[in-house]
Amino acid sequence: MTTTENIPFLDLITPHVELEAELLEAAQRALRTGYFIGGPEVKRFEDDFAAYCDAKLCVGVGSGTDALRLTYLALGIGCGDIVITVPHTFIATTESISQTGARVQFVDIDEATYNLSPSALRRFLQTKCRIDPATKTTTCIATGERVKAVVPVHIYGQMADMDAIQEIADEYGLLVIEDAAQAHGAKYFSTKQNRWLTAGSIGVAGCFSFYPGKNLGACGEAGAVTTADEELAARIRMYRDHGQRKKYYHDVEGYNGRLDAIQAGMLSVKLKRMPLWTEQRQQAAERYNALLADVDVLTPFEPAHSKAVYHLYVIRTKNRDGLMQYLAEREIGTGIHYPIPLHLQVAYTGHFYKAGDFPIAEAVATEIVSLPMFPHITAEQQERVSAEIEEFLAKQKAPFEG
Ligand SMILES: *Cc1c(COP(=O)(O)O)cnc(C)c1O
């Protein structure tokens, strides 16, 4: 028997132990200056994160969900509007749409990348919508609702096909909002612009989460919006702070959705490690790709136009549940992201979607499994994960052998 040391799905301890002194200093600065909400730490992190994303501006908020919600509100999305996105994502992408009063419209994903399928988007707009060429506004034929925006989710850290999505959005007068909650620092080669672009710098806004398990994680809740639009940034700042343009002058009813100074200070410490951590994730992904090359599972597809940051390393296999159980018995952590496509969640029963509506998202959800992935994963750990997967598959092929 080789090593049976447990391999976690995610290691949230090692990076924090490594940085403990610096992280504690960030907390201490808040204690000693009395800046807990807002202040110089927040401003510094916002500037540094904007630069990291090649974005002009960044607005720190309370969570990734706030980033999405406050962006939709600041863009004037609300009752009578439709926002298009994918069912293969975390529910924060869509609950934040519904919470503005707008309606979520799903379109299916691309089977190779698991990202929003530009052809499914076009098909929906061509068959279910009408565009008024004079005003370049698009409405849903059945309901008359205005189709306002499309939200590609850069799932698992790989960017959606932004050139194709932007082109369709321009044609139909839709805003593009990037859900970049899993894609800090991910790159996309834009053929149109003939250069590499960074997640969060392409759409009218990019929405990021700093939930602890994300590639850049706070030591608590935090999020941010990136944008090049000064007026939009100002409106998001207003919405994050009770709708006030200045203290006690409320233009609208807003939210309590601010980034706090301790989280901002800790995020600044961790942001400096992002180039290294991202490279480590990419190397770990390459190592898995090599280890699993001759194993009968589908490894992630990374198109030439993409530099993914591997928030998750997701493989596809027929007997997914059996494999997960086998690995769990050997103390190897795995996850499913996500087991039930959003259109089939109980929360969306009122939306009249049914099984079969988005067949690719549905098929993928039954076969995906996320393997242990974090910057500090070792080659030995990955070799063991791969060996156990191989062993499981071999046993499956010869079920009656001793
Ligand atoms: C994590 C996540 C969010 C929500 O972020 P929180 O910080 O947890 O609110 C939104 N969208 C996606 C795709 C996510 O993975």
Mean pLDDT of 338-353: 95
Spacing, Cα 288 to ligand 1 middle (Å): 25
pLDDT value at position 399?
62
**Residue 215 Cβ contacting ligand 1 at under 6 Å:** no
Query: 352 falls in which pLDDT band (50, 70, 90)?
Result: confident
CB 285 near ligand 1, within 6 Å: no
Q: Determine the distance separating the centroid of ligand 1 and the alpha carbon of 59, expressed in angstroms.
A: 16
Q: Which atom of ligand 1 is nearest to the CA of 182?
A: 15
pLDDT above 60: residue 93: yes
Task: Specify the pLDDT at position 38.
Answer: 87
pLDDT of residue 401: 54
Query: Does the C-beta of 62 come closer than 6 Å to ligand 1?
Result: no
Task: Give the distance (Å) from ligand 1 centre to CA of residue 91.
Answer: 8
State pLDDT tens for residues 33-64: 999 998 999 999 999 999 999 999 999 999 99
Residue type present at position 376 = H
Question: Mind listing the pLDDT tens digit for each residue in 8-31?
Answer: 999 999 999 999 999 999 999 999
Confidence of residue 350 (pLDDT cuts 50, 70, 90): confident
Identify the band that residue 3 occupies on the pLDDT scale cut at 50, 70 and 90. Answer: low
Question: Measured in angstroms, how far is the CA atom of residue 346 from the centroid of ligand 1?
Answer: 19
**pTM greater than the 0.95 cutoff:** yes
Q: Position of tokens 């609702």?
A: 145
Write out pLDDT tens, residues 278-299: 999 999 999 999 999 999 999 9
Mean pLDDT of the chain: 96
CA 292 to chain centre: 25
Question: Which residues, other chains included, contact 109 with Cβ-Cβ below 8 Å and sequence gap of 6+?
Answer: 86, 87, 88, 115, 116, 117, 120, 155, 358, 360, 361, 364
Give the pair of three-digit tokens for residue 83.
Answer: 């926002």
